[in-house]
Amino acid sequence: MDVRDKLYIGGQWVAPAGTGTLEVIDSTSEEVIGSVPEGSAEDADRAVRAARAAFDSWAATPVAERTAYLTQVAAALSARMDDLADLITHEVGMPLTLSKLVQVGLPLASFSSAAQIAADFTWEQEVGNSLIVREPVGVVAAITPWNYPLHQIAAKVAPALAAGCTVVLKPSEVAPLNAFVLADIFAEVGLPDGVFNLVTGVGPVVGEALAGHPEVDMISFTGSTRAGRRVSEVASASVKRVALELGGKSANIILDDADFPKAVADGVGKCYLNSGQTCSALTRMLVPRSRLAEAEEIARATAEVFQPGDPFAEGTFLGPLVSAMQRDRVRNYIEKGVGEGARLVTGGAEAPEGLDRGYFVAPTVFSDVTPDMTIAREEIFGPVLVMMPYDTEDEAVAIANGTDYGLAGGVWSGDPARAERVARRMRTGQVEVNGGAFNPMAPFGGYKQSGNGRELGAFGLEEFLEVKAIQR
């Protein structure tokens, strides 16, 4: 049991205002593995005021000193990689090997890269008779999700601190324990009091208090589109800056000249990463109607490799979902797909054989899915791939863009130039061509209801900066 009974505010571990606690559940065993305080609006206010008190001094701290702290944090994360990966696998269910690479490796890279980007950044420039200076936006409230808990924290906190902002973090109450490890690290490296603050709690209480707080200058939120709308609504009262990274329903266009065995297998893997609990997952596979049967067989065979199991066991590619609520939600979508006439290629809503305990969902593939079906329109957030046939390239692009979302996408073709032409037509923040690798230095964010603003790389740093023109 990892019992955390204090919040990190003003450089100190302090008792929360209330006595409520939130249990943390192991997604594989369904057992309680820890607890954290159920913070209140009063706790959020204390944290914001601590961040406000620390802001002027931190903003005036030389960039080299700020980045030195980030480098120390990266080193501390590296030293704790095995323990952190183990913890996040218990919290979220990602197979342990992947947790080391992704759930800890990406946060480590975020702190390291934020330090380097800030060191190389052009903070001032001359434009005519003006000196253009970039300054920290102020106190930042970061509200993060459970699917990549430490990665999403690092993607906000590292550039915000590099920019000279102070931070109040509200991590997801579903997977919060890793955030306490990060707070321990900040205390260990001697980050000045109040520069980083941690308040756990639920969104309707702590999240709302942060979004509406008059001393918060910016909200950086990652989560559902529904919750993002609420954050924007509450934040609008004080006209604070809002950066949103929300849902997705990303299309993967397999063109008729693609290497189908490679393209379809890669697409299944991109859909099932983290048991499908990835906002940028390529969940809609668009396939030429004339080759649909061929693609279905490849998808079926690939899905069978992703048999769910113990995420701590060697050879497991698919762990459980994060919670009973999420498992039931995904199974409901599968039932809805069957009910609306989609054809089940493999998988289904029943519990995988031999896995009655744990929040497991069978890897599922649907075919003959039409754009009007619920499973083609709404984000499922589970290991469910929908295959959608098309007849022409133009129709494929229209289907890909015919969604409220625009976070990610993919295109496969034997002609890289053709694939890039199609990629340019997709209304989405990222597109991978022929399985192009994720680039943690490239801007990440979406079009339309997938949000606004960008994270990662130099674009992620710029989100936390104001621009001032000094005329001379």
Reference 59, options 112, 137, 3, 168; nearest CA is 137
Instruction: Choose the catalytic residue: 245, 296, 432, 463.
Output: 245
Structural domains of the chain, with CATH: 2-246+449-471 (3.40.605.10), 251-439 (3.40.309.10)
As a whole number, the mean pLDDT across the chain is 97
Phi and psi angles of residue 190, each rounded to the nearest 5 degrees, phi first: 80, 30
pLDDT value for 15? 98
Please say whether the beta carbons of 46 and 215 come within 8 A: no
Q: Is pLDDT of 69 > 90?
A: yes
Provide the angle, in degrees to the nearest 10, between the axes of the packed helices 416-425 and 393-401. 40
Torsion over CA: 153, 467, 231, 272 (sign): negative
Residue range 164-183: average pLDDT?
Answer: 98
CA distance 141 to 123: 23
Collapsed DSSP state (helix, strand, coil) of residue 375: helix
Query: Which tokens is 351 given?
Result: 């519990």
Q: What is the pLDDT of residues 268-306, one digit of tens each?
A: 999 999 999 999 999 999 999 999 999 999 999 999 999
The letter for the amino acid at 96 is L
| pLDDT tens sequence across 81-123 | 999 999 999 999 999 999 999 999 999 999 999 999 999 999 9
Q: Rounded to the nearest 5°, which phi and psi values hold at 364?
A: -125, 140
Is pLDDT at 410 greater than 90 in this prediction?
yes
pLDDT recorded at residue 145: 98
Tally helices (H) and strands (E) across the chain: 16, 21
In order of 132, 281, 371, 431, the CA distances from 256 in angstroms are 50, 22, 20, 18
Residues in the chain: 472
Q: Which 8-state DSSP code applies to residue 13?
A: E
When pLDDT is averaged across residues 343-365 and rounded to a whole number, the result is 95
Name which of 172, 209, 242 is nearest 45 in CA terms: 209
Q: Is 91 annotated in the active site?
A: no
Whether pLDDT at 219 is above 90: yes
Mean pLDDT for the stretch of residues 30-45: 98
The tens digit of pLDDT for each residue in 356-389 reads: 899 999 999 999 999 999 999 999 999 999 999 9
pLDDT-derived band at 30 (thresholds 50, 70, 90) equals very high
Crossing angle (nearest 10°) for helices 63-79 and 149-163: 160
- In this predicted model, what pLDDT tens digit does every residue of 439-459 receive, in sequence order? 999 999 999 999 999 999 999
Is residue 279 part of the annotated active site? The answer reads yes
**What is the distance between the alpha carbons of residues 83 and 334, in angstroms, rounded to a whole number?**
35
Position 356 scores a pLDDT of 87
Catalytic residue selected from 271, 279, 379, 463: 279
The phi, psi pair for 284, rounded to 5°, reads: -115, 115
- The per-residue pLDDT for 108 is 97
pTM beyond cutoff 0.85: yes
Amino acid type, 270 = K
CB 191 within 8 A of CB 138: no
Whole-number Å distance between alpha carbons of 471 and 272: 53
